[in-house]
Every structure is written in C-alpha cells, then in structure tokens.
Structure 1
Amino acid sequence: MAASAEVRRVQVVGNGEPTRITIWSDTAQDARAFLAESDGARSLILPLTGVIAPRSGDGMGGVETWALSDDTLSFALDKPLMVARVLSLPPAGNEPLYRVIIDLQTVSAARFSSVAKRDMRKLGALRAEEQKAAMNLEMASLRPDAPVVRSKRASGQKYVVVIDAGHGGKDPGALAITGGKEKDITLRAALALKKRLENDPRYSVRLTRDTDIYIEHEDRVTMARDWGADLFISLHADAAMSPKTSGASVYTISANGERRIDKEANKNNWRIPIEDGAPEQLSGILKDLVKRETKTRSAEFAEMLLPELEKSGPVLRNTHRNAGFYVLLAPDVPAVLLEMGFVTNREDVKRLQSDKAMDKSMTAVKRGIDRFFDKQDVLLAGQG
C-alpha cells in the first residue's frame, strides 16, 4: 500500500486565459490530469498517490470547486477548459514541498468533449492498472515468500458464472420446425454447460432457472448482480423467415441498449458501488467508467467465444452482433446473449436436439469462458 501523504494546499488563480492550479504535497506526485464529461457536467481529474484526507474548496477562472477524496483530486469546471501544461516540481530553495502545476486554457465545448472522451479511456486504463497493482500487493502480503498467484483464486475465491436459460414456463420461445420448444433447448444447454463448468475448480456456477418456470427479465439481471456475477451468459435459439438461415451468433449491448441502462438501473436499484464520500460529480464519472469497462469486457468475451463456437458448428456471418436485449443491461456485469442456432433450420434443430452435438457446443462455450478468465488471471496477477 502506498505511504500516507498529505496535500497541504490547493490554489486556483486566473481567468481561463490561462487558469493555473497549484497543488502542494509533502510527497512527490506523478502529475497526470484528465478531462471528463458526464451528463453535461465537466471536470478535471488528478489521480494522486497515497492521499487519504478528504477536503474541498472553491476555485475561479472556470474552476467552480475542487474536492479531494480517495486518492483523487477533482475540479468541477463551469466552462470548457483544456490542459495546456502539467508540471511536477520537487522542493527547491525556500519551497519545502512538492508541487504540481496545471495550466488550463479556454476551448470550445466540442473540443472539450472530444478530449474528454479520450481522457476517460486513459483514466479507465489507469484505474485498471492501479487495481491490478493493489491486488498484487495484497497477494504478496499474504505470502511474502511466494510468487504472486493468480487473480481471485489467490484468496480462495471462484469466478461466478451465471447461466440464463432463455424463456421458460408460460413463455415457450420459438417453436422448432421439427417439433419442440426453445425453452426446453435452452434449459438442456444451461444444465449441460453448468455440468462442465462445475468440473473446473475455478468456477462457481448459478442458474437463473433449472426447471420449466418463467422468470422476468429484470429478475434475471438482479439475480446475477446479487450473486456477484463475473460473467452472465443468456442462452437462446433463434428463428428466421428463411429455413436456410443457420448458425450461432453472439450479441452484446448496442448503443440503443446502453441508453436504457441508467433508467433500468434506477428502476431496479442496480447500484454501482462507489466509495462513500466521493463527490457527486466524480461518482457519476466513475460509474460511467464502470459501464464502459463492462461493455469492453462483454465484447472481449464475445470475441473469445466466437472462434470456439466455429469449431463446434456453423456460425452466422457477422457473428458478433449488437442488440438492446434486456438481459444485457446490467451496468457492471459483463454479459452476452448466445443464439445457439435456428429452430427454423432442420440441420440446426437436429444439432440442438442431439445430446452429442449439445455436448460439443457447450464444451466450446466452456473453452471460450476459460480463455476469458485466463486473460483476467494474467491481467490481475501482472504476470503477462
């Protein structure tokens, strides 16, 4: 853990042409400043090292207020400003403290938004690296004489995989061309995948349903979040107008779906956990980063799953697709919807209703899951 540090003073002067922020600290800081924008609110984020004391104050020259909380110094901006220069200075002469100096210039709103999008990606990557480093230190402290072990398994935890068998009960789903119902196919697939995953000590597996019952879409997402899911997979079988259409496909959240997340999260109390005491504006930015990371990880899993599916059977062209399916709306759980094939295609139905072919298909899904968490292990352990 980083040594405790103290920010002794924060000063904001100027009128935007330029505005200068100066931070005095009793330890050296890696001066990196990031612009951020969320729901029209603009801010400047400065990650710090080891600072724990919350403080706040007023600004000027386009800086409305500032707040220090949990290793982050955030500045609320009341007009678009651009970082022109960042300096990190050691103690010198009559100045016994370390200083970080940030010069800001007024820019257009469009320019600010463009840079803020870029900076939020950079800040998200930085936070991920910090989380990785913190976990490594924690692992090392448990066994200082041993090499850093891998990811969640270091503390005896397992990756939680939630498998959602689509439809069920009063909702039969699509009807197969040769007879049978989608809800039965998805349940067989879910039970088969669960069996394979449970043979691997890395995983804890939960099913949203293991019998022929109907569960509301929002309840499926809530279950996954309550179980602390690291990955959510919703299993389905597709239908098409043409009986010639066949093959598997994988869906992740679309842009339209993303626009529904906040509304449904508020409606269902899907709260993203943010450290208590964080300023409201900063909390909004951090929540946006969580949602971006979740979307990225969902897409990463989809891209790892597809090559494995191709080994087990046909897949559609443009196999990785986007949609606003409700089960993909969790703000903080990587999720995909897997269409295993088409019940309107005779060959696909034959494959979906065959125990041998289902075994092959779910083994492929298991390999995709393994690849996804293998990558998480490497990233979190820092042993890539």
Structure 2
Amino acid sequence: MTLLRLVFLVIAFAGGGFAASADISRVQVVGNGEPTRITVWADSEQEGRAFLAQSDEARSLIVPIQGDVTPAAGDGRGGVATWALSEGTLSFALDRPLMVARVLALPPAGNEPSHRIIIDLQAVSDARFSSVAKRDMRKLASYQDNRRKSELAAELAALRPDAPLPASSRVSEKTYTVVIDAGHGGKDPGAMAITGGREKDITLRAALTLKKILESDPRYTVRLTRDTDVYVDHEVRVSMARDWGANLFISLHADAAGSRTVSGASVYTISASGERRIDKEANRNNWRIPLEDGAPQRVSSILEDLVKRETKTRSSEFAEMLLPELEKSGPVLRNTHREAGFYVLLAPDVPAVLLEMGFLTNREDAKRLQSEQGIRKAMSAVKRGIDRFFDKQDILMAGQEANG
C-alpha cells in the first residue's frame, strides 16, 4: 500500500459533510481544472503552504495545517477527487495532473471573520507534474522537519520563558534588520504609571532588553531609534527605519485608560484612515519606494501600490504571529489586534506594528512592566513572534528560489 493511499484510507469516511473541527471550519473546491480553486476556512492563522506529491499512480496536494483538528473528508471537483483532513495535514487526491498556480493566506477582513487559505490549480502535463512533485516532496520533508524544530523550541520557551532563547530554526542563512522604537522620550514623558514612573523610561528599558535578546541570535541586526532619554520626531523614526533597510519595525508603548481595571497588551497595525496618509507623508519626507529606473509611470504606480499592499499584509501577519506569544507572557486585551493611523506605522515599504505592552493605569500591569522579570518575559515573547514571522519569510523565499 502506498503512503498516499494510506493517508486517505486512515482518515476518510463516507459522505461529503464536515465534522466539527477545532481550527478548520470549511473546505470548498470549485472549478473545472482551468482553473480549480480550493478555499479553506480556519479559526486560526494558517501558513498557506501547498506541496504536490506522487507515489506510484497516485497524485495529491498536501497542505500543512496548524492547530488541532477533527478528522474529516469530502468530495471535490475539477481534478480534485476527494479531500481528507487529519492532524497537521489537509490532503487532496487528484485525478489528473494539476499544478499550484498560487497560494494565498488571508487574515480576517470585512464581513469575513475567518482566516482563509486560497489555492488555485491549473492543468499541466504528466511530465510537468512529476517533475514538480519530485521537488515538492523534498521541500515538504524539509518543511516538516523545520516545523518540528520550531514547535520544540516554542515548547521549551513556554516551559522556561525567562531562560535565554535559542536561535530560531533556520531555513536559510538570510539575516534581517529589526528596528525597535522606544516610544516617547525626552520632553515627551508619555503616560504616568499608577505605581510611579514614566512611560518613556519603561519603553526604553524594554527596547534595550529586546535588543539584547535579539542580538543573541546571529540572524538579526538590531537598530534603536533612541537608546537614551531623548525625544525623536515621529517622521525621523520612520525615516531611520527606511534608511537602515528595516525588515520589521516595532514601536513599544504602554497604554493608559480611565478605568484602573483595564489591563493587557495589544498590537496595532495601520488603519484605512492611516493608509490614506501614506502618500502625503511619503511625498513630504521623500520616502521613495525603490523601483527599476525607466519604468513607465503607470507601471511604477501599480508596483508602488503592490508594495504598499504587501507591506500592510506583512504587518498584519506579524501582529497575528505575535499575539499568541504575548498571551503566554501576560494578559492581553479582548480585541487584541487593533488598527490605527499612528504616524510610526506610515512607512510605505516597512512592515510595522505598535505594541502597547500593558496599561500603566492598572496596578498589576504597571508592576509587571516595571520589573526586570516582567519586561524580559514580555520581550522574550516578542522575540518568539519575530522568529515565527521570519521563519515564514525564509520558507517563502526558499520556495521562490526553487521555482525560479
């Protein structure tokens, strides 16, 4: 019995219905092969990876799944004969040679409350399918191995959150520049803590702690917008990040509320109103997106829009990867991922988030953020979120290089 057949026989059962699942709520297959689209709805973020596989005469598409699931199966169409869901894997049995044209991992948006994976398939020759499947099976084995290493590292970090963090699991040797922005400073003290102390001092200690943690991993080059008690204009902070070629920008803050019972961390990414300010501020500060010289204006405009759209998507992806790690280190707000038009989020080409580490108007939050252990625990969580974000970038780039 082949491995692919075994996957389907172990978990398949009659009927096209879908059993209740912890993470996957729906699977839909539409089309006729020219193209065929698979859409997967999930309650939690998914990476959006897809691999072709072949064994004897059996062809399949393998989609790794994050989180616990209830086994289920169903029928497909347009070249997809059946699908089957098991722990860690969503498998599609193919009755003809199809190739992945694109894969999208989309966060909740508008009236769509779920995360989604969208996979478009197109018909190819037998020879082309076999060639791609052979390569994909090697990539799948490598991906699964790296995922196991990442899960082990996360488990160890959860058991000992204050211990030195190991270097993240690496798919490539690429290094990344992370810019850490300690909010406020100098003439701008920020919020005042109920226990005494100022936001500008707390954010600076947090930034220095995160810098030290990140620099223990050779993967990262770390820059600070300030490392002393000085005030830096918002546009200068963004310009610094762009001049340094930042791959990620994190602005650290501590919140305040009218009620002393409000507590917990939250993460902000750019809002729709903030997006409308990007072009104005980019023109005012000469934040030019580097494009190939000589491109027609119409083409340049399209490329610039794509860059800004991708930047927003990656900012949201990082926020969603950061939140589960923050939950391990302390309280978070109910609506934890929020949107706003903060100036430090306006860079057109640098993924950016603003992290509110907690409420200085809440006694427990203030104590936590003013203790060395509490700050290290929170910044260790941020480091794990950063690792997850760049692990995904490594995998995507590895796939692009293989396809190239």
Quickly name the TM-score band, shorter chain normalised. 0.5 to 0.7
Structure 2 residue 282 is matched with structure 1 residue 265? yes
Tell me the residue number matched to 1:172: 189
**1:317 counterpart (314, 319, 334):** 334
Q: Deviations over 1:235-290 (max 9, x none)?
A: 00000000000000000000000000000000000000111111101100110000
After superposition, the CA RMSD in angstroms is 2.3
CA–CA distance in structure 2, aligned partners of residues 163 and 155 of structure 1: 23
Alignment of 1:112-123 (within 5 A): none
Tell me the residue number matched to 2:202: 185
Structure 2 residue 229 is matched with structure 1 residue 212? yes
CA–CA distance in structure 2, aligned partners of residues 158 and 300 of structure 1: 19
Q: Deviations over 1:203-259 (max 9, x none)?
A: 000000000000000000000000000000000000000000000000000000000
The one-letter code matched in structure 1 to 2:266 is S
Tell me the residue number matched to 2:314: 297
CA–CA distance in structure 2, aligned partners of residues 316 and 337 of structure 1: 14
Tell me the residue number matched to 2:214: 197
CA–CA distance in structure 1, aligned partners of residues 294 and 280 of structure 2: 24
Alignment of 1:1-384 (within 5 A): 157-382=174-399
CA–CA distance in structure 2, aligned partners of residues 167 and 357 of structure 1: 20
Aligned with 2:232: secondary structure?
Answer: coil
The one-letter code matched in structure 1 to 2:248 is L
1:369 is displaced (CA, Å) by: 0.2
CA–CA distance in structure 2, aligned partners of residues 205 and 334 of structure 1: 15
CA–CA distance in structure 2, aligned partners of residues 272 and 239 of structure 1: 35
CA–CA distance in structure 2, aligned partners of residues 209 and 250 of structure 1: 21
1:311 is displaced (CA, Å) by: 0.2
CA–CA distance in structure 2, aligned partners of residues 279 and 154 of structure 1: 37
Whether the aligned pair in 1 keeps the contact of 2:171 and 2:394 (CA below 8 Å) is: no
CA–CA distance in structure 1, aligned partners of residues 268 and 357 of structure 2: 11
Identical aligned pairs, as a percentage?
A: 80
Q: Which runs of 5+ in 1 are unaligned?
A: 1-31, 33-124, 126-146
Moved over 4 A (4+): 153-157
Whether the aligned pair in 1 keeps the contact of 2:359 and 2:366 (CA below 8 Å) is: yes
1:178 is displaced (CA, Å) by: 1.2
Larger radius of gyration: 1
1:357 is displaced (CA, Å) by: 1.0
CA–CA distance in structure 1, aligned partners of residues 286 and 210 of structure 2: 30
Q: Deviations over 1:283-335 (max 9, x none)?
A: 00110000000000000000000000000000001100000000000000000
CA–CA distance in structure 1, aligned partners of residues 252 and 172 of structure 2: 31
Q: Deviations over 1:46-81 (max 9, x none)?
A: xxxxxxxxxxxxxxxxxxxxxxxxxxxxxxxxxxxx
CA–CA distance in structure 2, aligned partners of residues 154 and 172 of structure 1: 42
Q: Deviations over 1:173-205 (max 9, x none)?
A: 001111100000000000000000000010000
CA–CA distance in structure 2, aligned partners of residues 154 and 201 of structure 1: 14
The one-letter code matched in structure 2 to 1:332 is D
Normalised TM-score (structure 2):
0.57
Aligned with 1:318: secondary structure?
Answer: strand
CA–CA distance in structure 1, aligned partners of residues 282 and 337 of structure 2: 25
CA–CA distance in structure 2, aligned partners of residues 220 and 264 of structure 1: 13
Structure 1 residues 208 and 361, CA, compared in 2 at 3 Å: closer, same or farther?
Answer: same
Aligned with 1:339: secondary structure?
Answer: strand
Aligned with 1:228: secondary structure?
Answer: coil
The one-letter code matched in structure 1 to 2:339 is N
Tell me the residue number matched to 2:7: none
Tell me the residue number matched to 2:23: none
The one-letter code matched in structure 1 to 2:280 is K
CA–CA distance in structure 2, aligned partners of residues 180 and 358 of structure 1: 15
Q: Deviations over 1:338-379 (max 9, x none)?
A: 000000000000000010111111000000000000000000
Aligned with 2:348: secondary structure?
Answer: coil
Aligned with 1:321: secondary structure?
Answer: strand
CA–CA distance in structure 2, aligned partners of residues 178 and 356 of structure 1: 17
Residue-pair matches, total: 238
Tell me the residue number matched to 2:110: none
Structure 1 residues 364 and 154, CA, compared in 2 at 3 Å: closer, same or farther?
Answer: closer
CA–CA distance in structure 1, aligned partners of residues 381 and 319 of structure 2: 13
CA–CA distance in structure 2, aligned partners of residues 270 and 203 of structure 1: 24
CA–CA distance in structure 2, aligned partners of residues 340 and 156 of structure 1: 31
